[in-house]
Structure 1
Amino acid sequence: MQAITILHSLIRWAVLLFGVWTLINALTGVFTKRNYSAGDNKSNLFFMISCDIQLLIGLILYFSNGWFDRLKHLGENMKDPTSRFFTMEHMSMMLLAWILVHIGRSSVKRATTDAAKHKRMLIFFGLAIVLILAAIPWPGREAIGRPLLKWFN
């Protein structure tokens, strides 16, 4: 299970890299009014794929590490910041971000103008990145902080 946790920690960087790439493309597209390009399409496709892989690995961890079983004692978990974060907050925010990425990808593909595509990229993927950044257990966060790379424990 340790290997899966390390993989989950590493793929976080791919999610963030592709998410930032997508946001930069969206921002430059909105402000410079450039055409929607194949690079824009690739950035948000890779962002979505990395989120899908991360979700799959996260679900494996969620169900195999006992976080799901802790939902039976929800009252006790809500009192403990670590349990609350990993049983409820992390999972909920990441699922919502994953949904936003998928809705955003579909919405961008359906948009008819380049300006609309860039604007939808900025809105949906921007909100998803904010949620992802808020849901990561960054080092220094009291009770829930984790190392930047898992194997540096």
Structure 2
Amino acid sequence: MATVQFRISGGQVTPEITMPISATILDLKERIQLFTDICMTRQTLRFNNQELTNDRTISHYEFGQFATLVLGVKPLDDRYPKFFILVKSCNEQSKLIRVKETTLVGDLRSKIERHFGIPGKLLSLFRLSQEMKDEFPISAYYVCAGSQVEVVINIEPR
């Protein structure tokens, strides 16, 4: 069975997903949802500035064996901009924290510092195995309702 390997760009995390050419674009979006937690209905995929249609098969677009797609994510409804994410540390301490998609990683770090009582400069945050940078919004790492952010505590040697 022929397959296409997709690199999904658009955020700070770049998933790679292999799909059979008989799958639909909707099937691909479902796989992206499993990886990123971004609901399929919020996803838009583009290839060479063309929006891909959910009911078309991957073979319809003639990608070849490898293609880079751009993932666009529709913003949340303004009536419900806040949601909870799970922040989990390596010592199994966890906490639900309320955020917005526009929350900067640095601001999330400050919230974690207050909740865990650990200086923010000792914390490294990870989403989908990617270290999060303070200057980006959490949405750049596909953080959405129910997502998990991993916290590594960097203990300084004495």
TM class by smaller structure: under 0.3
Structure having the larger proportion of residues in helix: 1
Structure having the larger proportion of residues in strand: 2
Which fold has the larger relative contact order, with Cα–Cα distance below 8 Å and residues 6 or more apart in sequence? 1
Structure exhibiting the larger radius of gyration computed from Cα positions: 2
